[in-house]
Amino acid sequence: MQRICLFPGTFDPITVGHLDIIYRSLDLFDKVYIGIGRNAAKVPMFSEDQRISWINEIFKGEPRVKAVFYEGLTVDCCKKVKAKFILRGIRYVNDFEYEKAIADMNRSLDHDIETIFLTCLPQYTSVASTLVRDVIRNGGDASPFLPDVVNTTVSNQK
Q: What local confidence, expressed as pLDDT, does residue 80 receive?
A: 97
How far apart CA 126 and CA 40 sit, in angstroms, is 26
How far apart CA 8 and CA 91 sit, in angstroms, is 16
Q: Is 53 a catalytic residue?
A: no
Starting at the earlier edge strand, list the strands of the sheet with 65-70.
65-70, 31-37, 4-9, 85-90, 114-119
Residue ranges with strand state E in the chain: 4-9, 31-37, 65-70, 85-90, 114-119
Encode the chain (158 residues) as per-residue pLDDT tens digits: 899 999 999 999 999 999 999 999 999 999 999 999 987 777 899 999 999 999 999 999 999 999 999 999 999 999 999 999 999 999 888 889 999 999 999 999 999 999 999 999 889 888 888 899 999 999 999 999 999 999 999 988 76
Q: Which of 3, 38, 42, 80 is catalytic?
A: 42
Residues in the chain: 158
Phi, psi torsion values for 85, nearest 5 degrees: -135, 145
* Residue 8, beta-bridge partner list: 35
> What is the domain partition of the chain in residue ranges?
4-156
Q: What local confidence, expressed as pLDDT, does residue 93 receive?
A: 85
Q: Is 38 a catalytic residue?
A: no
Q: What local confidence, expressed as pLDDT, does residue 22 receive?
A: 97
Q: Is 42 a catalytic residue?
A: yes
Q: Is 80 a catalytic residue?
A: no
Question: What superfamily does domain 4-156 belong to in CATH?
Answer: HUPs (3.40.50.620)
Q: What local confidence, expressed as pLDDT, does residue 155 receive?
A: 86
How far apart CA 14 and CA 50 sit, in angstroms, is 10
Q: Which of 24, 31, 91, 133 is catalytic?
A: 91
Angle at 45 between CA 74 and CA 90, to 5 degrees: 45
